[in-house]
A and B are shown apart, each in its own frame.
Chain A
Amino acid sequence: MSLRSVRAAVVIGALGWLLSPPVAFASAEVIRRQLESGLTVLVQENAAAPAVAVTILVRVGGRWEREDTAGISNLLQHVLVKGTTTRSALAITDEAERMGGSLSASGDVDYSEIRGAALGRHWRELLALMADVALHPALALAEVDNERRAAANGLRNRLDQPFPFAYDALMARLFPSHPYGVPVLGRFESIARLDRDTLLAHYRRFYRGGRMVVSMSGDVRASEAAPELGRLFAAVPNGDSGPETPMPAAVAALDRLVVTRPAAQAQIMMGFLAPPIGHSDYAAVKVLQTALGGGMAGRLFAELRDRQALAYSTGAVFPARISQGFLVAHIGTAPVNAQRSEAGMRQQIERLGTERLSEAELARAKRYLLGQFDLDRRTNARLAWYAAFFEIVGVGQHFAEAYARSVEAVTVDDVQRVARTYLSAPTVVRLDPSPR
């Protein structure tokens, strides 16, 4: 094969693809049922592998916490899987592992999660185990103590590693006086004060049908799994714990924090408040984020890594949030290049507001964004999680299709407009290494 023919084939192929409609990598029908308590059950049949995955999401997390209870949702999740009224912590672990499975839990800002997986032939046992964990927790004092210690160690871990350290510092500056600014793990002081009674009250307030979604994906029949879920979770208390307390408005500190500490690399992060999921600008900001720092062809990677060799890792993230979104651009670089990297990152961000993207760049960003979204929804664990997440954030089971249409409709003018709207003033955190 001649080199010339390779190039021709590549170019023609690429154009052909860009002219064709997007291809979805994944598709699955979601069966949805609502129990009398308000609990939502979701089941997807997927016979691709003899496995099942289950996600239980509860609408409770960092955004419902105060300074003195920071970390309570995450701590509760960890204690839930450490014993029920009839199973010890070891019995839970042992049972899950005998199914070739796993069971774990954690808190997040907008929700808390219990996740389980097993070989498909054990799906009934897995559901029974997860229902027991969610509905009959022991919250044993010894386990509360142990998990409190683990959470404190987790916080120390984050302080020991430059990237999480810088990220947490940025969140605190982006969201001062707002629950999103506090680490999901909490604070050392709040964790130390959380006791069994507080956890139990938190559990009773939030583990209610109206706030819970149980989502399953795997090698099962929905006609069997949905009734089984209904039976196992029938005892969930009704209701949703009453009206929500309004969230405070997020007002970012538009400043530049420089921290000096021993490390091999400098870390530079620039953050911006951005729209939440469901907002009319959400899709345009997703395209913006992808053009800036998504994949290896995003501007940060192409310019700061490929052309200027300033970094190994650089990019941008824009996670989905219910209350208030944010976009973070990041680069890790040699100490000697920190100044140049910060200026380069700032320049790439500013360019988005002053120059329109090319149509080719816009097309790449859209295809990449939607392609990764589809590729991420293929394993049972991810399928179960996404279905539950769409439900818990209130965007519904047709979100993926509506989101794809919104992304396709974004224009270069939209991207420039949202760049000007949301990326005008950064909050900057820079970690400068001191000698180790």
Chain B
Amino acid sequence: MAAIAAGLLYGCAGRDSSGPFPLPVPSREVLPNGFRLIIHERHTSKAVALQLWVGVGGRDEAPSERGFSHFAEHMLFKGTDALEPGFVEREVEGVGGRTNAGTSFEYTYYYMLLPSARAAWGIEVLADMAFNARFDPVELDREREVVFEEVRLGEDNPRSFLGRRLYEMAFPGYPYGFPVLGDPAELRAATRESLRGYYRRHYVPENMTLVVVGPVHAGEIRGVVARAFGGMPSTGFAREPLPGPPTTPSPRRLTLERPGRQAYVGLAWVAPALGDPEMYAVEILVHILGGSRASRLNQTLRERARLVSTISAGYGALQGGGIVSVTAQVEPKDIEAVEAAVLEEIRGIGEHGVSRTELDRAVAASEAERVFGRETVEGLALAYGRAETVWSLAGDREHLERLRSVSAHEVQAAARRYLTGDYVRLALMPKGPGR
């Protein structure tokens, strides 16, 4: 039950048909009511991953609904017409499994990891949660307080605080510029009717995908899914399109004081959206810039100049637009020097390009990310579910090959186009030891 706020899709989901990991393409089918089902029989584990993906997140919320996607996600565990609050967790854990959920700007997903013999049971329970959540007013009042605690927890973590505020600065007024956890005032005003109405609008068969990965028999799963999800009528739902692409924000610099000893700085640029032809070059660029220990920023600023304790670059490729960010932990006195050095590294790539070695390293990292991310059934299910919900399985499969085709010239051009213009800068300055 967590909000997934930043760095959402760096590396994207997966790249199935290429490289030395030729996993079979999963079966994908669409039920008559629009519900999508992805099955991958994988017999390397006794556990089955069930993931229900719903196309709803922060991007779908009206101003009066900020935080509703995440709040609703919490409420799905608080009882259905048939099941008492706490039943799902208790039963899943009682068979040695685990369950939870996550909400981002673009999707919400629920997962269960179970012994494979429990797959049918888990699918029926997920269907019940998806369509029959109770939204009991007493539970709703309690869970609202739990969400506020989640907000406070994030406030106390400087890195998550920095990431969230950077998104707000980079996407002012755009759906990605508002926290997934929501606005306290709107959450306070949420009623059973308003939240349940939001749930009913978005939790419809044509806005859902179930991913099943594990030692299962596809035929049996299809039968269970047809019974559990196939009977719900389609509603003609179509997801509201995002507003036009976010504009590059005006240069903005903000310094905030926080209790503590360490300073943090973040720089952010608006970048290509998920699926944009230039996405691949930007992904390689960001890896070379600050995606690993051997990256330019790490070598220059941490290992040689010793200006930072940590530094990294990330690329969040979202449906409506992307963001490239560079974040670092620094001594307060070094913030300006770090900013200048980051810009100098970017300028260097723009003027002189990158090497073949750097390109190869970035592709190897992406390949490895795919392999290691898919060692488990839940890792594989996550890749499929995310691709199906925000992109496409085909795009996901071709991803590595597209990265391999990126040239040094394209990386250089991407640096010039996306990272030499306006950007936002946020500095978190320590207000003292605080005790």
A interface residues with partner B (beta carbon < 8 Å): 1, 3-4, 6-7, 9-10, 13-14, 17-18, 22-26, 47-51, 89-90, 93-94, 97-102, 117-121, 146, 149-150, 153-154, 156-157, 159-163, 259-265, 294-297, 302, 305-313, 332-334, 363-364, 367-368, 370-372, 374-375, 378-381, 434, 436
Contacts and interface: CB of A to CB of B under 8 A. Distances in A.
Given A1-B127, A375-B113, A434-B434, 20 more contacts: A1-B227, A6-B80, A6-B124, A23-B96, A49-B372, A89-B303, A93-B294, A97-B292, A100-B364, A101-B368, A120-B20, A159-B433, A265-B152, A265-B155, A295-B93, A302-B86, A309-B141, A364-B94, A371-B93, A371-B115
Residue among B82, B98, B148 having the largest count of chain A Cβ atoms under 10 Å: B82
Residue among B91, B117, B360 having the largest count of chain A Cβ atoms under 10 Å: B91
A403 to B, nearest CB: 14
Contacts of A97: 292-294, 361, 364-365
B93 A364 contact: yes
B143 A309 contact: yes
B152 A264 contact: yes
A26 B45 contact: yes
Contacts of A149: 306, 309
A405 B376 CA distance: 26
A100 B371 CA distance: 9
B275 interface: no
B299 to A, nearest CB: 6
A260 B434 CA distance: 9
Contacts of B262: 153, 156-157, 160
A102 B21 CA distance: 19
Residue among B77, B146, B147 having the largest count of chain A Cβ atoms under 10 Å: B146
B7 interface: no
B292 A14 contact: no
Q: 10 closest Cβ contacts across the A-B interface?
A: A371-B96, A100-B368, A160-B260, A262-B259, A312-B149, A296-B89, A309-B142, A48-B44, A309-B145, A153-B309
A150 B113 CA distance: 38
Contacts of A89: 303
Contacts of B372: 49, 51, 117, 379, 381
Nearest to B431: A262
B47 interface: yes
Contacts of A305: 146
Interface string B356-372: 01001100110110011
B128 A6 contact: yes
B390 interface: no
Contacts of A90: 294, 299, 303
Given A3-B81, A10-B121, A295-B93, A379 B149 contact: no
A15 to B, nearest CB: 10
B261 interface: yes
Contacts of A260: 435
B93 A17 contact: no
A235 B81 CA distance: 67
Residue among B149, B292, B433 having the largest count of chain A Cβ atoms under 10 Å: B149
Given A146-B306, A150-B309, A49 B227 contact: no
Given A10-B125, A90-B294, A121-B20, A25 B93 contact: no
B228 interface: yes
Contact of B94 (A7, A17, A102): A17
B150 interface: yes
A338 to B, nearest CB: 12
A14 B97 CA distance: 12
Given A378-B375, A378-B376, A6 B47 contact: no
B421 to A, nearest CB: 29
B252 interface: no
A390 to B, nearest CB: 21
Contact of B46 (A25, A98, A262, A264): A25
Interface residues of B, number: 84
Contacts of B368: 51, 99-101, 117-119
Contacts, number: 244
B146 A311 contact: yes
Contacts of B258: 436
B44 A14 contact: no
20 contacts: A3-B81, A6-B83, A10-B124, A17-B94, A23-B117, A26-B45, A49-B371, A49-B375, A50-B20, A51-B371, A89-B303, A117-B368, A149-B309, A153-B309, A157-B309, A160-B158, A161-B157, A295-B93, A296-B86, A311-B146
Contacts of A118: 368
A100 B372 CA distance: 10
Given A4-B82, A24-B46, A371-B96, A10 B91 contact: yes
Given A49-B375, A90-B294, A368 B93 contact: yes
Contacts of A380: 375
Contacts of A311: 146, 149
Given A265-B153, A371-B97, A378 B45 contact: yes
B344 interface: no
Interface in B115-160: 115, 117-118, 121, 124-125, 127-128, 132, 141-150, 152-153, 155-158
B90 interface: yes
B329 interface: yes
A370 B153 CA distance: 29
B184 interface: no
A261 B433 CA distance: 9
A295 B90 CA distance: 9
B261 A160 contact: yes
B245 interface: no
Contacts of A374: 96
B87 interface: yes
B303 A146 contact: yes
A265 B149 contact: yes
B337 interface: no
A160 B262 CA distance: 7
B360 A98 contact: yes
Given A1-B228, A50-B20, A378-B45, A297 B94 contact: yes
Contact of A367 (B82, B94, B145, B155): B94
Residue among A100, A119, A364, A434 having the largest count of chain B Cβ atoms under 10 Å: A100
Contacts of A371: 93, 95-98, 115
A14 B94 contact: yes
A296 B74 CA distance: 13
A119 B375 CA distance: 12
Contacts of B125: 6, 10
B105 to A, nearest CB: 20
Nearest to B264: A160
Residue among A1, A48, A310, A363 having the largest count of chain B Cβ atoms under 10 Å: A1
Contacts of A367: 93-96
Contacts of B222: none
B240 to A, nearest CB: 30
B231 interface: yes
A261 B435 CA distance: 5
Residue among A17, A146, A305 having the largest count of chain B Cβ atoms under 10 Å: A17
A14 B95 contact: yes
Contacts of A154: 309
